[in-house]
Structure 1
Amino acid sequence: MYELIIDVDPMREDLPAIQLGLAVARQQQAFVAGVHVVAQIPSVTAIPDALAILEAEEESARRRAPWWQELCRRAGVQGSWEVFRGMYVPVLATRSRMADLLVCSAPPGNENLPVGWDNATRTLFAGGVPVLLAPERYDVRGAPERVLLAWNGSGESTEAVRAALPLLRKATEVHLLDGWHETLPGFGPPTLAIGEWLARQGVTVQQRRPFHPGEDAGVHLLREAEAMRADLLVMGAWGRSRISELVLGGTTHHVLSHAQLPLLLAH
């Protein structure tokens, strides 16, 4: 059975991540676990008052189970409510390995928390499953129907496409930006026929274009997504080191900082 985890933080029904996750779960007839992590910092565990506050927060979160079950009932899906206390990223990454997709809020990209250091993308980098990110101000109207695939033959982009297959099979429009760069025979990996492979997986690509932009790749991807009115962009994340992208800039960093549509990322 297809399984989703939704990172429920904050616990608000109008949170786009919750709405998007439940819409995808309904489309896929999936089981969906709502997970709330009570973040615990090791340096404060010896402070009695701090521990008492964390215990009270955990107990309060556990009492929200009926609220979550009602959301699942209204969405027409099966689900569970799970509360964990611990270090946020290791907890979420470990729990997500028992699911097919993790749904989170997209990082806000504010000055206090640079893009790439938020919980969602750190969880992805820590070895969790592919992540579906919903912008905090996105108007969710259902599961994604118009999808843009950004593929360049890398392991990250290929894993993202594989993770997106269940959504792609239900989409009404799929465009592919093919950024594969051929090399001289014997001096690089073999050419991969991504279009043929997608067709065998039951995905019809309505438009396929080579992707060799002379401009910044992140700018180009978001421009293409806007042009086709995409409601999901699928791409690999952190093709080079995350530190390198944060310092020098890069495609993932730009897309996370500026995207106004959901993203499905794999690392």
Structure 2
Amino acid sequence: MTIKTILIPFSDEESSVRLFQAAACLAAFYHAHMRFVHLLQRPLPAAAYTYPVALNYTHDFYTEMEAMAQKQAKDMEDRFHELCAQSDIQIVTSAQHSDAKGATASWEVFDRAMPYGYTAIARLADLIVLAKPEPAAPAWQQGLVEEMLFQTARPVLMLGETETLAKMPQRVVLAWNGGREAARALSAALPVLKHARHVDVTTIGKINSNAEPPESVVAYLALHGISAQISHLLLKRKDDPEMAFVEHAARQKKADLVVMGAYSHNRWREVVLGGFTRQMIRESSVPVLMAH
């Protein structure tokens, strides 16, 4: 099991460098191909106005937005070429990639709705790399992490607000509750865990008595040549499990990656009641590898 195809939604200048650095780090290590994908971004025209004013306004509005969308796509393409040149990464199609070429990259622009247009493309990626959405980011960007998790069945690496991966993660905290999402995240993270120096299998409170305990996870990892330790976070009645985990990850000598299952509850429950995944997306300052 390895990583050979990495998909990177390349939509804004703010996160472009961090996304490129993280993807390039992984691609160089695994001799993988990076697909940088940009969707044309246009706001929808306003609702109906009195004819013929509405028709003219909508046409002019659409024309202006189309020009802006094309300019942004061109600016992001220029940025992509600049970053590839700085990192000495070959620009080839995925069909032209070979391990002998090391890390390679391609650029693609699609005219599809956001964020759903990204999800269909991402289903053939081994890993999706996204930046943590900023509080003021557009609504589609706020929901991109969730859409990728729910609609692609692929693992997602979410970078922190300022953090990236300049080197392969060496200190990894793995959240374990015995659930299927945690198992999927564990499986997706194996290529990374094999090269980490320190892996911490962490449980929060009591896990289901029918679930495999963390000791079984350690034994499973040992079969893959990975040495791991166990941490049990014991919670008091008023303790917040999400913040307890965030603080634990921070205490692990500055862990540089968190691995966890995402949305073990239904999405409506997460939206209405809040939940572990949403809290981690909001609070984590280190990259998080998630799977649903």
TM range (shorter): 0.7 to 0.9
CA contact (8 A) 1:104 1:133 kept: yes
| 8 Å CA contact retained: 1:4, 1:100 | yes
Q: Note if contact 1:93-1:126 (Cα within 8 Å) is conserved in structure 2.
A: yes
Whether contact under 8 Å (1:149, 1:174) holds in the other structure is yes
**C-alpha contact 2:45 2:61 (8 A) present in aligned 1:** no
Q: Does 1:226 align with 2:226?
A: no
Equivalent residues in 2 for 1:15-94, closer than 5 Å: 15-40=17-42, 47-53=58-64, 55-57=66-68, 59-60=70-71, 61-62=73-74, 64-65=76-77, 67-73=79-85, 74=87, 76=89, 77-94=103-120
1:231 shift after superposition: 0.8
Q: Find the counterpart in structure 2 of residue 241 from structure 1.
A: 266
Provide, for residues 220-249 of structure 1, a one-character-per-residue CA deviation record: whole Å limited to 9, x for no partner: 211111111101111111111223223222
Secondary structure of the residue that 1:26 maps to in structure 2? helix
Out of 129, 132, 136, which is 1:106 matched to? 132
Question: Match of 1:148, as an amino acid?
Answer: V
Letter of the 1:11 counterpart: E
Query: In 2, distance between residues paired with 1:11 and 1:83?
Result: 16
Give the 3 Å change call, closer, same or farther, for CA 145–112 of structure 1 in structure 2: same
Q: Aligned AA for 2:59?
A: P
Q: For residues 122-152 of structure 1, give each alpha carbon's deviation from its aligned partner in whole angstroms, at most 9, with x where no partner exists.
A: 3222335211111232265323221110011
Distance in 1 (alpha carbons) for counterparts of 2:146 and 2:234: 27
Offset at residue 7 of structure 1 (A): 1.5
Q: 2:220 aligns with which of 194, 197, 205?
A: 197
Query: Any conservation in 2 of the 1:232–1:261 contact (CA below 8 Å)?
Result: yes
Contact 2:21 2:164 in 1 (8 A): no
For residues 42 and 110 of structure 1, the distance between their equivalents in structure 2, rounded to whole angstroms, comes to 19
Post-superposition offset of 1:191: 6.1
Is the CA contact (8 Å cut-off) linking 2:202 and 2:231 kept in structure 1? yes
Within the candidate set 169, 173, 191, 1:148 is matched to: 173
**Structure 2 CA distance for partners of 1:49 and 1:212, relative to 1, 3 Å:** farther
1:168 aligns with 2:204: no
**Would you say how many aligned residue pairs link Structure 1 and Structure 2?**
261
Q: CA deviation digits over 1:178-200, x for unaligned, max 9?
A: 457353xxxx4666822222222
Q: Are the aligned partners of 2:157 and 2:290 in contact in 1 as well (CA < 8 Å)?
A: yes
Q: What percentage of aligned pairs have identical amino acids?
A: 27
How far apart, CA to CA, are the structure 2 residues paired with 1:154 and 1:3?
27
The answer for the alignment partner of 1:258 in structure 2 is 283
CA change 1:236–1:199 in 2 (3 A) is same
TM-score, with normalisation over the residues of structure 2? 0.77
Measured in 1, the distance between the counterparts of 2:213 and 2:164 equals: 39
Match of 1:209 in 2: 231
Is residue 15–residue 136 contact of structure 1 (8 Å, CA) maintained in 2?
no
Aligned Cα root-mean-square deviation (Å) = 3.1
How far does the alpha carbon of each residue in 1:142-167 deviate from its partner, in whole angstroms, 9 at most, with x for none?
23221110011111111111111111
Residues 230 and 23 from structure 1, CA distance in 2 versus in 1: closer, same or farther, beyond 3 angstroms? same
Aligned partners of 2:277, 2:165: CA distance in 1, in Å? 23
Cα pair 2:42 2:66 within 8 Å, conserved: no
Compared CA separation, residues 49 and 39, structure 1 to 2 (3 A):
same
Q: Tell me the CA shift for residue 101 of structure 1.
A: 0.8
Deviation (angstroms), 1:99:
0.3
User: What displacement does 1:208 show?
Assistant: 1.3
Aligned-partner Cα distance in 2 for 1:190–1:29? 34
- Greater Rg by CA: 2
Bigger CA drift: 116-125 or 77-86? Answer: 116-125
Q: TM-score, normalised by structure 1?
A: 0.83
More helix by share: 2
